[in-house]
Amino acid sequence: MVAAEEELLKLKNDMQVLDIHFFTTRMASDQLEKGFRQILPFVTAAIVILIAFSSLSLVSLDCVESKPGLAIMAVISSVISTVASMGLLIYLQVPFIGLNKIAPFLILGIGLDDTFVLVAAWRRTNPRNSVAERMRETYSEAAVSVTITSVTDGLSFLIGALTDIPSIYIFCMYTGTAVVFLYFSHLTFFGGFLAYVGYGEKANRHSILCVKVPPRSRDGKIPPGRNIDIAVDPPPSGRTSTTLPWPNSGLNETRELR
């Protein structure tokens, strides 16, 4: 079929008397690839800005709780998923076209979205819990959202793969397969790095230098929402005690009542 379309295009170019206009599926593929080449510089610039914005979004004033490295790991997870998808489909002899070059950008957007969901769920957990407990709470809250996102995106590309236009069919096959790989990569590879960062946070290590820093009260203030265990001697006999919250801190103050 492709050979016949190529011969038809050659015949059109050789015609001197008649002006023939026709449309083939190959022409649609060529126009899509031509359009992609025109917007590629803008897409590349947008991806650079997106990565920079994601890294800055995961930075906080607390050098321990700041997690800029997670944005980099999200990019690596997206790249792994895209490469795995391309390798599998090329092995299965599915043609590779220029339009597939836009797939990594789409996968990166989906991966960063899943990253923000997982990190937001992690930050809502209790810092006093163990890393394993915090990971359990994070996945119990965020895994449903990540799964729904992956399923809906995968179904969208699966529906697109039902078209008769070869370029769209091939593009949807590559991108849809990459979405599946991204789902498992983010829950395993990225999740493992999130736990690694969690152990660093538990040990009060710097998020970039990985060295231990002074306690969080190094500036004389306790960050809001943080809980610190303190030992309190039991009250003398004949007295009662009550525990009152200490405003703007995670400490509890014990006062004796006569």
Q: In this structure, are 81 and 176 located in the same domain?
A: yes
Low-confidence ranges of the chain (pLDDT < 70): 1-33, 35-36, 215-258
Q: In this structure, are 135 and 189 located in the same domain?
A: yes
150 token code pair: 């992956």
Encoded amino acid at 24, one letter? T
**pLDDT for the residue 231:** 47
Domain assignment present for residue 18? The answer is: no
Distances (CA, A) of 104 to 49, 80, 108, 185, 217: 15, 10, 6, 14, 43
**Containing H/E element for 191?**
helix 191-202
Domain assignment present for residue 12? The answer is: no
Q: Which is it for the CA torsion 107, 113, 119, 124, positive or negative?
A: negative
Q: In this structure, are 113 and 49 located in the same domain?
A: yes
Q: In this structure, are 221 and 126 located in the same domain?
A: no
> What is the distance between the alpha carbons of residues 198 and 123, in angstroms, rounded to a whole number?
10
Q: In this structure, are 237 and 187 located in the same domain?
A: no
132 lies in which domain range?
35-202
Q: In this structure, are 107 and 170 located in the same domain?
A: yes
Q: In this structure, are 144 and 120 located in the same domain?
A: yes
Domain assignment present for residue 108? The answer is: yes
Q: What does the pLDDT look like over 31-85, one tens digit per residue? A: 666 766 777 777 778 778 888 888 888 887 777 778 888 888 999 999 999 999 9
Domain assignment present for residue 133? The answer is: yes
Q: In this structure, are 135 and 241 located in the same domain?
A: no
